[in-house]
Amino acid sequence: MLVVLAVFILPRLLPGDPLGIMLSSDYTQNLSESELAELGARMGIAGSGAEQFGAWLGDLLRGNLGYSATHARPVATLLAECLPWTLLLILGAMPVYLVLAALAGIGAGRAAGGRFDRGLTGFVTILASIPPFVTAVLLMLGLAILWPVFPASGALPMLPSDQLVIRTGQIALHAILPVTALALHEFARFYYLARGEAAVLTHRPFVLNAVARGLPPCRLLAEYYGRNILPTFVARLSDSVSGLVSAVVIIEIVFSYPGIGGLIYGAILDRDYTLLQGATIAVAAGLLALNWLIDAAGTALAGRG
């Protein structure tokens, strides 16, 4: 309940109000009093604060996230359109940074204290200190503007293809830079985790025995390192979900990507309380669901172990 109350109050602490912003446009200057009152009701700003909260909470309990007057569409429809794009970035980046962090961390951990370990860990430390929006801007500047290899913004070209294969390729091409920015942001925390685990595992008797028997490197990596590091990765995923979602919101804004982040940013600029409340509730629900899935996966892995 405290989360719901905070979601309602925080947008109203922003300077200005949605109706005042809309009245500054030519479209709304000629509206009558009754039309303005109806518009205010649609925006969820009619009546006192308690009345507004009661009306919004009642709609929320009925599964109605409200209506965005800025977009002239239901909030649920807008979220349904934007959510797949956000999931594409998250699900695209997650296997990339998990696999790369595991491989790099195991390599560094097996040679802990060596030149490779010191050099790679130093680089990762610098990488970890860079905020996600700086990483996104640098990628855009280097690979989309100075050296235009990838699109700088959006999820599709202005004239997307109607053919499924070509359209899929266009979507993948536009997602490369946002996915890379997100993967680089999350890479460091899992690298440190894999490195620490690998440094300990390397001196365990069962690993030393496997090395002495001449076990192939791929099998050693998968069965002795990967299998022991995986449960720790899953446990850490649960702790990193909120940071992952915060990063993807920022990265979507930088790349003008049509996900939840861009929707929230636009709602803040327009003071669209209903949309901002609905999007925040959706993000909070998504975090809870994702944490539940990760915890369930961790429990399943622990049971197998």
C-alpha span between 150 and 176 (Å, rounded): 8
Which of 190, 196, 226, 167 is closest to 96 using CA atoms? 190
Domain boundaries, the chain: 2-74, 76-304
Are 294 and 241 in contact by the 8 Å Cβ rule? The answer is yes
In this predicted structure, what is the pLDDT of residue 144?
95
Look up tokens 């569409």; give the residue.
Answer: 73
- C-alpha 217, offset from chain centre: 34
Cα–Cα dist 199/211, whole Å = 15
Nearest CA among 236, 300, 240 for reference residue 90:
240
Q: What is the mean predicted confidence (pLDDT) over 291-296?
A: 84
The pair of structure tokens assigned to 196 is 């620490």
CB atoms within 10 A of CB 146: 9
Average pLDDT, the chain: 87
SS3 content of the chain, % helix, strand, coil (to 5): 75, 0, 25
Q: Mention every residue, 6+ apart, whose C-beta is less than 8 A from residue 83.
A: 259, 260, 282
Topology of the domain comprising 76-304: MetI-like fold (1.10.3720)
pLDDT in tens, 139-163: 999 999 999 999 999 999 887 888 8
Q: For residue 74, which phi and psi values (nearest 5 degrees)?
A: -65, 145
In the block, tokens 């720790």 appear at: 232
Given a contact cutoff of 8 angstroms between Cβ atoms, the answer to whether 295 and 238 are in contact is yes
Measure the CA–CA gap between 230 and 305, rounded to whole angstroms.
11
> pLDDT higher for 78 or 9?
78
Contact 167, 160 (CB under 8 A): yes
Residue 31 has pLDDT above 70, yes or no: no
C-alpha torsion sign, points 90, 92, 93, 99? positive
Average pLDDT estimate for 37-57: 74
CB 254 within 8 A of CB 136: yes
Helix axes of 260-270 and 227-254: crossing angle, nearest 10 degrees: 40
CA distance 233 to 131: 22
236-274 pLDDT, tens per residue? 887 788 888 889 999 999 999 999 998 999 998 888 888
Q: Answer whether 182's CB lies under 8 Å from 190's CB.
A: no
Q: In this structure, how many other beta carbons lie within 10 angstroms of the beta carbon of residue 107?
A: 17
Residues 295 and 289: their CA atoms lie apart, in Å, by 10
- Give the C-alpha separation, 147 to 116, whole Å: 30
Closest C-alpha among 230, 260, 233, 266 to residue 247: 260
Give the CA count within 13 Å in the CB-facing half-sphere of 254: 24
| Chain centroid, CA 176 distance in Å | 15
**pTM of this structure:** 0.85
Q: For the segment 99-138, what is each residue's pLDDT rounded down to a tens digit?
A: 999 999 999 999 888 999 999 999 999 999 999 999 999 9
CB 192 within 8 A of CB 232: no
